[in-house]
Amino acid sequence: MRLATWNVNSIRTRVDRVTDWLQRADVDVLAMQETKCSDEQFPTMPFAALGYEVVHSGFNQWNGVAIASRIGLDDVQAGFAGQPAWGDKPDVPAAAEARALAATCGGVRVWSLYIPNGRTVDSAHYVYKLQWLAALRETAATWLTEVPSAPIALVGDWNIAPTDDDVWDIEFFEGSTHVTEAERAAFGSIVDAGFTDVVRPFTPGPAVYTYWDYTQLRFPKNRGMRIDFILGSPALAARVAHAEIVREERKGKQPSDHAPVLVELTEHR
């Protein structure tokens, strides 16, 4: 099974790039983030033409998560227990955003996750980000407690660089989100709950990134961040035979500012 995650930064803009890569990379399941469209606007047909079923959770031009699979989409679930709501307008009730979507694909429980950005460390959105991560940790831990042998993949754009090696210049990010002690501790708590970064052993750093800003020639200069991850439960981690960050997909015409992250799993024994 070949499982990938990709922050596509608008699926309607990049559907041709995404479907082209799916074919070339022989991907079985792709989790997508930042689709930036409603369910009705998602371009399902190009995926269907290639034999992929798609499930999507999106409300408007912000956020949005999806899963495309050619090996089944079962037990679809939007959001997780305890997922915090967000609202920054006094006259609009807070609501859960389209940031978490799950489906069972070929026996693997896949969660496409788009963790809140946090904006600035003095922002209410930063507090929301930490609450969101804490809720995910609590709920994900119960999944392993209930079924320790469950193959679970928590994949997506985490908006956290867990180590100094995961950014091109730690001094540049001083005082910014993505690298704070609290965010890194939140990421670490999910690892401590039993979910392993299954890609890093195959892509050791430093200077190995998944995201490069569009401005100031950040990509050609390799001034990036590693913020996209596949965290696997023990049962899933034991099956990882290969992993890579597909840097080439950050090149070319109208790329996303993120590269896909891919793992290859052996058959379940």
Distance CA 156, CA 139 (A): 17
Q: Catalytic annotation on 178?
A: no
* Active site annotation includes 192: no
Residue 269: per-residue pLDDT: 59
222 is known to lie in a ligand binding site: no
Residues linked to residue 242 through DSSP beta bridges, in sequence order: 264
Helix 181-192 vs helix 124-146: crossing angle, to nearest 10? 10
Q: Extract the tokens encoding 250.
A: 């950050």
35: left (phi over 0), alpha (psi -120 to 50) or beta: alpha
Q: Strand 152-157 relative to strand 108-114: parallel, antiparallel, unpaired?
A: parallel
Provide Rg for the chain, Cα atoms: 17
CATH placement of domain 2-265: 3.60.10.10
Give residue 268's pLDDT. 72
Residue 257, annotated ligand binder? Answer: yes
pLDDT at 89: 80
Query: What pLDDT does residue 93 have?
Result: 87
**CA–CA separation, 55 and 23 (whole Å):** 19
Q: Which two tokens stand for residue 167?
A: 């950014």
Catalytic residue among 28, 56, 126, 157: 157
- Given the residues 28, 52, 114, 211, the one annotated as active site: 114
What pLDDT tens digit does each residue of the chain (269 aa) get?
999 999 999 999 999 999 999 999 999 999 999 999 999 999 999 999 999 999 999 998 889 999 999 999 999 999 999 999 998 888 788 899 999 999 999 999 999 999 999 999 999 999 999 999 999 999 999 999 999 999 999 999 999 999 999 999 999 999 999 999 999 999 999 999 999 999 999 999 999 999 999 999 999 999 999 999 999 999 999 999 999 999 999 999 999 999 999 999 998 75
**Is 60 annotated in some ligand binding site?**
no
Residue 249 in marked binding region:
no
What are the residue ranges spanned by the domains of the chain? 2-265
Within 13 Å, how many C-alpha atoms sit on residue 147's CB side? 11
Q: Which of 28, 197, 228, 258 is catalytic?
A: 258
Task: Find out whether 34 is annotated in a ligand binding site.
Answer: yes
Q: What is the pLDDT of residue 108?
A: 98
> pLDDT tens across 153-206, in order?
999 999 999 999 999 999 999 999 999 999 999 999 999 999 999 999 999 999
State how beta strands 29-33 and 2-7 pair. parallel
Cβ–Cβ under 8 Å, residues 206 and 138: no
The b/e string for 125-151 (b: 16+ C-beta within 10 A; e otherwise) is bbebbbbbbebbbeebbebbeeeeebb
Q: Is 126 a catalytic residue?
A: no
> DSSP letters along the chain, please?
-EEEEEE-S-HHHHHHHHHHHHHHHT-SEEEEE---S-GGGS-HHHHHTTT-EEEEE--SSS--EEEEESS--EEEEES-TTPPPB---TTS--B--S-EEEEEETTEEEEEEE-----STTSHHHHHHHHHHHHHHHHHHHHHHH-TT--EEEEEE-----SGGGBS-TTTTTT-TTS-HHHHHHHHHHHHTT-EESSGGGS--SS--SB--SSTTTTTTT--B--EEEEE-HHHHTTEEEEEE-GGGGSSSS--SB--EEEEEPPP-
